Amino acid sequence: MELIMQHKSLGRVFEVRCLHIPVNDRTTYEGLLHVVEESVKYEHNLSPNRPIYITGDSFGGCLALSLAARNPEIDLVLILVNPATSFAKTPLQAMLPLLEMVPSNLPVITLPHLLRYFIGDPLKMAIVSIQTNTSPQDTLQRFSENLSSILPLLSEFGRVVQMDTLLWKLKLLKSGAEYANSHLHAVQAEVLLLASGNDNLPPSGEADRLFKTLKTCKVRYFRTSSDRLLMEESFNLLTVIKGSSMYRQGKQRDAVTDFLPPTLSEFRRTYGVDFKLLHHLLSPVMLSTLRNGKIVRGLAGVPDKGPVLLVGYHQLLAMEITSMAEEFLREKKAVLRTLAHPVFFVGNFEILRQEISFFDVVPMYGGVQVSPINTYRLFERDEFVLLYPGGIREALHRKDEDYQLFWPDQPEFVRMAAQFGVTVIPFGCVGEDDMLEIVLDYNDLKNIPFIRETIESFNQDCPGVRSTVKGEEGNQVLHLPAVLPKVPGRLYYLFGKSIEMKGMGGVQRDRESANQLYLDIKSEVENIMSYLKRKREQDPYRSITARTLYQATWGATAQIPTFEP
């Protein structure tokens, strides 16, 4: 019942199997575990090199953990949704002796709060089949019809199910929790733990205990959701699996081949809800350069097919990425495969990602860990690749370093682009100085004792990406500068003229030629930013006030004009 809202999306990626316990079944916990175990072993024998995903909600979470503990040789990925491993701490445990005194043939409907625990929330069940794009009137009518049809069934169900059934289920739950807790040390499987409802949240929540106990565990908290998380209308299990980098087809996750492009519903959720306000404030202007050198609005100057390498400046706190990703999806139907810092993927920093955040958006929208081999493989697959040679040194720059490039003397990406005949597009983006002001940068933070020690400890455990590069270009210290928002200006992008690398075999073989082209690309990025800084002064809608008045006149969806290129 709980998984019914997730079937459609999960079915696009997985072969979904649902395990059901009949109402009159009285199999013991060990017996149920054996049944599930046989099913899993059967699937494993059919495809021994593929992982098996097991989603367990509440009692199902206990079964999943127990199964993993008994079968460490099988490649399992557990998705635990509010697992019932904390049963001993719940009021239900204390109620067991009292319920044993109740007549066994008493209908459960006489205890409605227990009936809700048994079958779930009827209001949420009534919402399941309603389309989200229907009008309010149709939604209300459909909801009323669904609820009217469900309530008599639930009433009948409550009369049919008697107290002995409920008592058996509670005892089963107790046995499952005890078994799972006593075998947590033996669980070798990857675990994604989804926690909602007050009983599961920190500081005393069950999810925190399991995260610290299990060997390989990721947690995502949903603080505003009920304990019936899988039936929340806004919740999508597949999206969470993708965002937490838990989807894989083989023994190890491959960020290149295991990537699942965002669906239309995910795109609408990300850019129509999550980033809607941010993009309204940024009001990005996208410009590109045609083959004849003419600058036009939009991405007409960018090729429609890859392999393409976008090389440019990384703005403060990477504020430019989400708008770029959206525009390429809208106009080019292309996913930007961003070469990102390891902090977005390394498990040691999982505690930073326990809330759904930008850390999940990066892998969900194509981000991969920056490395030569990943770049090579993305070019091989004709992808649109986004590279920031300045890395986090630019994205976390100091005061008065706006629009300075910190590119190392390493032209390897140019030689690799020549090898695959990649189209290289230099680009620049300006606007960070109209959005944020740095109050405390790294030079300030490192002089504050407690913060300095925290930064040092964090960076000692984090894999570096430029440990051999000297000078400021290699000073890739992870930290979070203190910033203050400004009255928003506007973000401006310009994608320069395409550089066709096909046929440039000499660049691949000659380091001097590669280095010269590298410097030319760097110079072009600097020229683009100078152009944008100059031209934005001519934009009558650079101010958010002017943009708001324009949209109030012409509508919220109207494209806001800008300067003439």
Concatenated DSSP letters of 460-513: HHSPPS-TT--SGGG-------EEEE-S----EEEE---EE-TT-HHHHH-HHH
Q: Write down the pLDDT at residue 133.
A: 58
Q: What is the pLDDT of residue 11?
A: 92
- Measured at the CA of 304, the angle between CA 303 and CA 306, to 5 degrees, comes to 75
Contacts of 70 (CB under 8 A, 6+ apart): 33, 37, 183, 186
pLDDT digits 0-9 by tens, 511-521: 889 999 999 99
> Token pair 């304990």 is at which residue?
227
At 160, list the tokens.
């049919």
The domain over range 4-106+162-243 is classified in CATH as 3.30.70.1430: no
Using DSSP bridges, classify how beta strands 285-289 and 295-297 pair: parallel, antiparallel or unpaired: antiparallel
| Segments of the chain with pLDDT less than 70 | 1-2, 93-135, 138-139, 142-143, 145-163, 198-204, 347-356, 463-475
| pLDDT for position 469 | 65
Give the angle 437-443-447 at the CA atoms, nearest 5°. Answer: 120
Q: Structure tokens of 53?
A: 């995903």
DSSP 303: -
Boundaries of every domain in the chain: 4-106+162-243, 264-554
Structure tokens at 285: 């202007």
- For residue 521, what are its two tokens? 């690309």
Number of Cβ atoms within 10 Å of the Cβ of 139:
15
- Quick check: helix, strand or coil at residue 218? strand
Tell me the three state secondary structure of residue 270. Answer: helix
- Identify the CA nearest to 5 among candidates 84, 174, 148, 121: 121
Q: 529, 233, 558, 251: which is closest to 401 by C-alpha? A: 529
Give the pLDDT of residue 557: 87
**pLDDT for the residue 347:** 55
Cβ partners under 8 Å of residue 453, min gap 6: none
Q: What pTM value is reported for the model?
A: 0.87
Q: Residue 145's pLDDT is what?
A: 65
Residue identified by tokens 């390897």 is: 412
Mapped onto helix, strand or coil, the DSSP state of residue 136 is: helix
